Structure 1
Amino acid sequence: MLRVGGHSPWFARPPQKGAPRRVFCFSFAGGNASTYRGWQALAGARAEICAIQLPGRADRLLEQPLEALADVVGAVAREINLLDPAPFVVFGHSLGALLAFELARLLQSAGLPLPEHLFVSACDAPQRRRPLRRVHDLPADELKSVLQSYAATPPAVLANDELMELVLPAVRADFRMAFDYRYRKADLLRIPVTVLAGCDEHDPDALEVTMWREETQRGFKVHWFKGGHFFILDHDRAIVESVLGDWSAMAQSHAVSK
């Protein structure tokens, strides 16, 4: 891992010393930190958006991608712990939600500072995950077709064979990470959990959504958005407001109940 000017490559932009609050964000499989490029302008001075950049993509394109979820979570936990203390929450979409969930679990079990809230987006409750295809083992052309069907990868990237040759190792690593993930019971989280879900992907009473409640001993809430699995690409403002609003509301509720 190469640090440039003291800046950790795990963050798309250097976290600012003295930030009042931070939102650490994990992208979906095959995505990168640019998923959250518009969030800082929407959050303004209310919070610093810290998008996580995994190896093998964007400015880390030439680095070896990580295939084990525990390796990613462990590295990010260390990086967060090196920052100056500030209240924070963790957000993740799809595979990123599993990373966010396991990061919160790791921080809690290690006795490290906890996020004040966990936000999981477009992700089945870990104990109710549906079986996944072995997408990571597909030939390159078939894997590109899968990415095209998801409509989350820019067409210009999909059409660039040389770029795709560089990008696909990270895509495969992400899908393998999701495929290999196995849920294990652990202590309930001592922080609130908010689920964000797409109306076209789940029914309101779907256990894949509601069973996230079983992972926390604190508050629980669900927000619904128009769209399917990648609704995150169309609702930046509403999602940012949901994150910051729930964070503040549940933090105040906890303070009053003490």
Structure 2
Amino acid sequence: MSAQAPLALLCLPCAGASASMYLRWRRFLPPWVRIVPVELPGRGARMGETFVEDFDAMVARICAEHADAMRGDFALFGHSMGALLVHGVARRLQSLRRPLPRALLVSGCAAPSRRDPERFDGGEDDASLIAELRKQGGTPEEVFASEELMRITLDMLRADRRVCRSHVHVAAWPPLPLPIHAFAGRQDDIEVPAMAAWSEETGSAFTLDWFEGGHFFLRQHEAAFLAALARRLPTHLHQAQLQAHQG
């Protein structure tokens, strides 16, 4: 059997974060997975760019900027806001009749049909946003201790909340013809039916894996999460390589 080309796994960050959150995964996922961190405007290496604050505009930018990575064998992963974005990307690819991902992997995000439209209507003052960051538990203490890092994070979070607020669910969309694999933390505040409703977005296979932990269970239990993620990747193309890696 000839070696398969790597599976490109495009990874979208959560609100208030940079794609650098995925860099360390390269050391832990199987060698046939090529991590492609998707950096959004206004953060990380794109710090000097203007934020995009509209959901559809952000999705269009992602599809345009990462067209090359989405031409071969690829899958999409997103956590929280990132999950909403990868679903939007898959829908846009579908509408443009472009090649679809082998799978959609969504983490820590209610299904589009079950999102609370009022969740992002709260205050955007610094104190409210800092309280939100504390509640979710994914922000390192050194960020809270640094005025500069805190300002950068709050600016990102404020822009990303506007992205999420501008998302509109289209109930008339047909199911996506690809597997959807969802991941969630048992102590997160997203209810079970809201995660299970991701099954309504696919006409193919659906799985839902639960982990101990809150919104950032994927960091709290990283090894278990990444093992589950590897199992859910499209192994119809890479089964032999996965078995070799595991055995």
TM-score (norm 2): 0.86
Contact 1:200–1:228 at 8 Å: present in 2 too?
A: yes
The residue that corresponds to 2:53 in the other structure is 67
Which whole-Å CA distance do the structure 1 matches of 2:190 and 2:20 have between them?
29
The residue that corresponds to 2:96 in the other structure is 110
The residue that corresponds to 1:129 in the other structure is 115
1:219 aligned to which of 177, 183, 205? 205
Tell me, which stretches of 5 or more residues in structure 1 are unaligned?
A: 1-17, 254-258
The residue that corresponds to 1:43 in the other structure is 29
Tell me, which stretches of 5 or more residues in structure 2 are unaligned?
A: 240-247
- Deviation per residue, 1:201-225 (Å, 9 max, x gap): 3698x22021111111100111111
The residue that corresponds to 1:4 in the other structure is none
Counterpart of 2:174 in structure 1: which amino acid?
Answer: D
The residue that corresponds to 1:171 in the other structure is 157
Which whole-Å CA distance do the structure 1 matches of 2:215 and 2:18 have between them?
16
Contact 1:40–1:49 at 8 Å: present in 2 too?
A: yes
The residue that corresponds to 1:86 in the other structure is 72
CA drift of 1:84 comes to: 8.0
The residue that corresponds to 1:9 in the other structure is none
Give the alignment's Cα RMSD to 1 decimal: 2.3
Q: Percent identity?
A: 32
Counterpart of 1:190 in structure 2: which amino acid?
Answer: P
The reply on whether 1:56 has 2:26 as its aligned counterpart is no
Distance 1:47 1:155, change over 3 A: same
Which whole-Å CA distance do the structure 1 matches of 2:187 and 2:158 have between them?
26
Q: How does 1:91-240 map onto structure 2 within 5 Å? A: 91-130=77-116, 131-135=118-122, 137-185=123-171, 186-201=173-188, 206-240=192-226
Q: Which moved more, 1:37-46 or 1:235-244?
A: 235-244
- Deviation per residue, 1:27-47 (Å, 9 max, x gap): 111111122121111124221
Q: Which moved more, 1:232-241 or 1:23-32?
A: 232-241
Contact 2:106–2:182 at 8 Å: present in 1 too?
A: yes
Distance 1:75 1:133, change over 3 A: closer
CA drift of 1:50 comes to: 0.6
Distance 1:250 1:225, change over 3 A: farther
Contact 1:88–1:115 at 8 Å: present in 2 too?
A: yes
Q: Which moved more, 1:82-91 or 1:34-43?
A: 82-91
Contact 1:88–1:116 at 8 Å: present in 2 too?
A: yes
Contact 1:61–1:166 at 8 Å: present in 2 too?
A: no
CA drift of 1:252 comes to: 8.2
SS at match of 1:89: strand
CA drift of 1:143 comes to: 2.0
2:9 aligned to which of 9, 23, 26? 23
- Deviation per residue, 1:134-187 (Å, 9 max, x gap): 34x422233223223322122222222233333322210101111222211212
CA drift of 1:79 comes to: 2.4
The reply on whether 1:243 has 2:229 as its aligned counterpart is yes
SS at match of 1:221: strand
Q: Which moved more, 1:159-168 or 1:92-101?
A: 159-168
Contact 1:125–1:208 at 8 Å: present in 2 too?
A: yes
Contact 1:38–1:236 at 8 Å: present in 2 too?
A: no
CA drift of 1:104 comes to: 0.7
Contact 1:191–1:217 at 8 Å: present in 2 too?
A: yes
